[in-house]
Amino acid sequence: MRFISTRGLAQPLSFSDAVATGLAPDGGLFLPEKLPDLSAQWPPMAGLGYAQLCHEFMRHFATDIPEETLRRLVGKAYQGFDHAETAPLVALDARTYVLELFHGPTLAFKDFAMQLLGNLYEHQCAQRGESINVLGATSGDTGAAAIHALLGKPGTAIFILYPDGRVSPLQERQMTCTGADNVFALAIDGSFDDAQAALKTIFGDTAFRLKNRLSAVNSINLARVLAQCVYYLYAWLRLPQEARANAEFVVPTGNFGNVLAGWLLQRMGVPIPAFKVATNQNDILYRLFTTGEYRVADVQPSLAPSMDIQVASNFERFLYYQLGGDAARVRAVMATCAKDGVYRFDKFEHSTFSASRCSDAEIPGIIAHVRRRYGYLVDPHTACAFKDLSPEKVSVVLATASPAKFPETIREAIGAEPKHPRLEALRKRPIHKHKLPASVEAITRFVEAHAV
């Protein structure tokens, strides 16, 4: 299988080359040239364990990796998860389920893709005899998951940009307390969107990218999105038969990558009826799906910091399909968004999607309500998804992080702090971070000085 750019001006690449490249040279995002049809294949997958299911799914895309090698890389990716089911589906009542995506090494859903991506990078380094320098930007969980996927892996270095003072203290410690020589946590002045904008500019500099063997670890990397498709399929196959036809996956999201993964699975023939985009007070996606207008606003720091985003990168992949694969129109829309910060759709068809918005003032109350009603504790991001659940549908809420990562907010909501031994151990370790301005020049100078 080959992978093409949403903007249509880059050469198609193999899976491994698309993974290594990250952002397409024309500034677009990679997508499969053609999505596989899984409509006749998903029913027999119902009895597979998580790693087996992931292998069966990923083999449709990673066609340049030998079958047994891919099986090994996938199997290794999920060995460090602390639940036998990897992504357990928990029934709160007959109409409400929670898909727990926080049993990986960093207690957040990003581990599902990052652990696999780290193994793919390690395999590529060994196969090609080349080092790789991974560059990413994070609003919280992505950076920690990426770092822990590459800790100590030979031939790799990882540079993670994050907004200084705008991630939770424990999220920061997961990035800055590893003690690994190949990890560089870069605390920048500004917001996540500032970090992401710098990252896109850096990857657009082809000479710099090639010279320093850069690869992207954000959800602009296609492997991230594909790996996340798997937990939707895993959950779908574990729903009661009668619930599947009326199920709505409710997804906390800021960068649109998490919910895009489920929607792509639907396009591959898995009949998931509906998705709800759950945003915090940084609600660009809520506004898009309720008004048809994509308008960038200022980021408001919130209690759900991983969703503090106003430029949703994966929107471009969705746009590509919305525009019928017309890469020229994608280029025009993205140019308008970059220039004016806004694009108004004349006709925005999205019957599969609904959206909700949750303010900071509402989050503690929702956490307390879920605890009282179901005896279940959720983190601030997952709390956003519990706002206005549909009474007519079966809701499958994606629990994106452990509540133990946000003790201050949980204490405000229920009067007690959840703890996790992995996080408690971090409190005793020294923080190592590098403060930088959010400028392309400062970041590239640092990367060049420390690249392997």
Residue 311 falls in which region: left (phi positive, over 0), alpha (psi -120 to 50) or beta: beta
DSSP per position, 103-171:
-STTSBTHHHHHHHHHHHHHHHHHHHT--EEEEEE-SSHHHHHHHHHHTT-TTEEEEEEEETTSS-HHH
Q: Which CATH number fits domain 89-107+223-418: 3.60.70.12, 3.40.50.1100, 3.90.79.10, 3.40.50.720?
A: 3.40.50.1100
Give residue limits of the domains in the chain: 89-107+223-418
Closest-CA residue to 174 (of 106, 82, 102, 81): 106
428 is catalytic: no
Residues above pLDDT 70, as percent of the chain: 100
**Amino acid making up residue 377:** L
pLDDT tens, 134-185?
999 988 788 899 999 999 899 999 999 999 999 989 999 999 999 999 999 9
Q: Which tokens in the block code for residue 240?
A: 């009661």
Confidence of residue 12 (pLDDT cuts 50, 70, 90): very high
The pLDDT of residue 8 is: 98
The pLDDT of residue 350 is: 80
Confidence of residue 216 (pLDDT cuts 50, 70, 90): confident
260-264: list long-range contacts, CB under 8 Å, 24+ apart: 260/225, 260/314, 260/317, 260/318, 261/225, 261/226, 261/228, 261/229, 261/232, 262/229, 262/232, 263/318, 263/352, 263/353, 264/35, 264/225, 264/226, 264/229
CA 80 to chain centre: 19
pLDDT tens, 340-364?
999 998 877 788 999 999 999 999 9
The pLDDT of residue 140 is: 74
* Model confidence at 284: pLDDT above 90: yes
**Rounded Cα gap, residues 227 and 376, in angstroms:** 27
The pLDDT of residue 367 is: 98
Helices 50-58 and 222-238 cross at an angle (nearest 10°) of 130
The pLDDT of residue 219 is: 79
Pairing of strands 96-100, 89-93: antiparallel
**Rounded Cα gap, residues 398 and 138, in angstroms:** 20
pTM beyond 0.85: the answer is yes
- For 167, residues 6+ apart whose C-beta sits below 8 A from its C-beta are 138, 139, 140, 143, 305, 306
What value does the mean pLDDT take over residues 401-418?
96
pLDDT tens, 176-185?
999 999 999 9
DSSP reduced 3-state for 397: strand
Q: 34, 110, 153, 347: which is the annotated catalytic residue?
A: 110
pLDDT tens, 38-76?
999 999 999 899 999 999 999 999 999 999 999 999 999
Tokens 């991630």 identify what position?
167
The pLDDT of residue 192 is: 87
- For 298, residues 6+ apart whose C-beta sits below 8 A from its C-beta are 310
What value does the mean pLDDT take over residues 422-446?
95
Angle 412-413-416 (CA atoms, 0-180°, nearest 5)? 70
Confidence of residue 258 (pLDDT cuts 50, 70, 90): very high
Residue 233 falls in which region: left (phi positive, over 0), alpha (psi -120 to 50) or beta: alpha
What value does the mean pLDDT take over residues 396-419?
96
